[in-house]
Structure 1
Amino acid sequence: MTDKSTSAPSSDSVSHRVADTSPESDRGEQPETIHEDRLWCDGGWTARVIKNEDDDGWAVEMIKDGEPEPALVGPWTMGRNKKDPKPLDVSAFNTLVKTASEVLRRHEQQLRAQLHKRVAVDAATGDGQWEITLDIVPDDDEPYALLTAIDAFGEQLAQVQVAASFKLSKASAASWVENGFRRPG
């Protein structure tokens, strides 16, 4: 949205709304496309230029449709008058979408790494190695984890439910195999 009290619209500022008349918009699935100086909504993303709470500058937040929190908040460039923010444009928006998407991808990878662990141990049969995985199920009421043994051919040999706090290591995995896949603890 353009705050008309702080700056007069320039002749080169872009501000238009495109009504989506596709069948999806009738079901409320496709939001309106908005291209304004301080607000862009397009392709499942919203970029909003906001006043920086920490100083006199400006910031931009990127919110993926349906998400309650911004995926990215960063500083935004001042305009030519050194008082108002630089208007959003298609190039800046595309760069922000790419950056925010990368932030979300990294966050998902980090979460996956926290919830999924794996180690390789020597097979009890002497035929190479088995993969032992621990997949944590972060339930709000009763979190737990699944400890699984997989042979060299990708076949599941055993699976038991363990506490979400179970620490998977080469030693704990080898002990589980040596104990005939009985539930640890």
Structure 2
Amino acid sequence: MTIDSDEPIHEDRLWSDGHWTARVIKNEDDDGWAVAMHLDGGSEPALVGPWTMGRDKKNPKPLDTNAFNTLVKTAREVIRRSEQQLHAQLNKNVNVTVGDKRLRIALAIVPDDEGATATLSALDEFDEELARVSVPPTFKLSIDSAQAWVASGFERPR
């Protein structure tokens, strides 16, 4: 869903600043209303939530500047949290101590439609990379697997 114009739109059920668009829609699950927030260029809404009924208890409350600004802030937060969750799923690290050295072992997975790839790396206390190897994206990073990798002299895990 995109609006072709960069001109602001301020209608009762459609509000756009050229970057974000709020559209009040009939809630298919009940007799109420919902609002869908779309980021320009996005095919799916970034946020869908319930919308307040108007005074007649049949029609939705009209959109206004304050409501739109609140919806934009909420939609941005939803996107930010989603990005943080994805980053956490794809990037893991553990700390291990070997002798008197503390190492950070990091696993970074790069998703791809053709097939994900993953890299395992060892960094010293100054974030200097000591080793890097490719691993299957299914590799499970744990303290035990990190210590075993360090003990092997950073050989590619099997």
Instruction: Tell me by how many angstroms 1:128 deviates.
Output: 3.0
Question: What RMSD in Å do the two structures reach over aligned CA positions?
Answer: 1.3
Structure 1 gap segments, 5+ residues each: 1-27
- How do 1:21-170 and structure 2 match up within 5 A? 31-42=6-17, 44-123=19-98, 126-170=99-143
In structure 2, C-alpha distance between the alignment counterparts of 1:34 and 1:158, rounded to whole Å: 54
| Identical amino acids, percent of aligned pairs | 66
In structure 2, C-alpha distance between the alignment counterparts of 1:56 and 1:88, rounded to whole Å: 19
In structure 1, C-alpha distance between the alignment counterparts of 2:154 and 2:6, rounded to whole Å: 51
Letter in 2 for 1:99: T
Instruction: Tell me by how many angstroms 1:81 deviates.
Output: 1.1
In structure 1, C-alpha distance between the alignment counterparts of 2:135 and 2:112, rounded to whole Å: 13
Structure 2 gap segments, 5+ residues each: none
Per-residue deviation, residues 137-181 of structure 1 (Å, max 9, x unmatched):
111112121001000111001100000000000000000000010
The number of residues matched between the two structures is: 155
Scaled by the length of structure 2, the TM-score of the pair is: 0.94
Given that residues 23 and 35 in structure 2 are in contact (C-alpha distance below 8 angstroms), is that contact kept between their aligned partners in structure 1?
yes
Letter in 1 for 2:130: L
> Match of 1:48, SS?
strand
Using CA pairs below 8 Å that are at least 6 residues apart, which structure has the higher relative contact order? 2
Instruction: Tell me by how many angstroms 1:114 deviates.
Output: 0.3
> Match of 1:140, SS?
coil
Scaled by the length of structure 1, the TM-score of the pair is: 0.81
Runs (4+) of structure 1 exceeding 6 A deviation are none
In structure 2, C-alpha distance between the alignment counterparts of 1:111 and 1:165, rounded to whole Å: 16
Letter in 2 for 1:133: A
Instruction: Tell me by how many angstroms 1:31 deviates.
Output: 2.4
Letter in 2 for 1:37: D
Given that residues 109 and 118 in structure 2 are in contact (C-alpha distance below 8 angstroms), is that contact kept between their aligned partners in structure 1?
yes
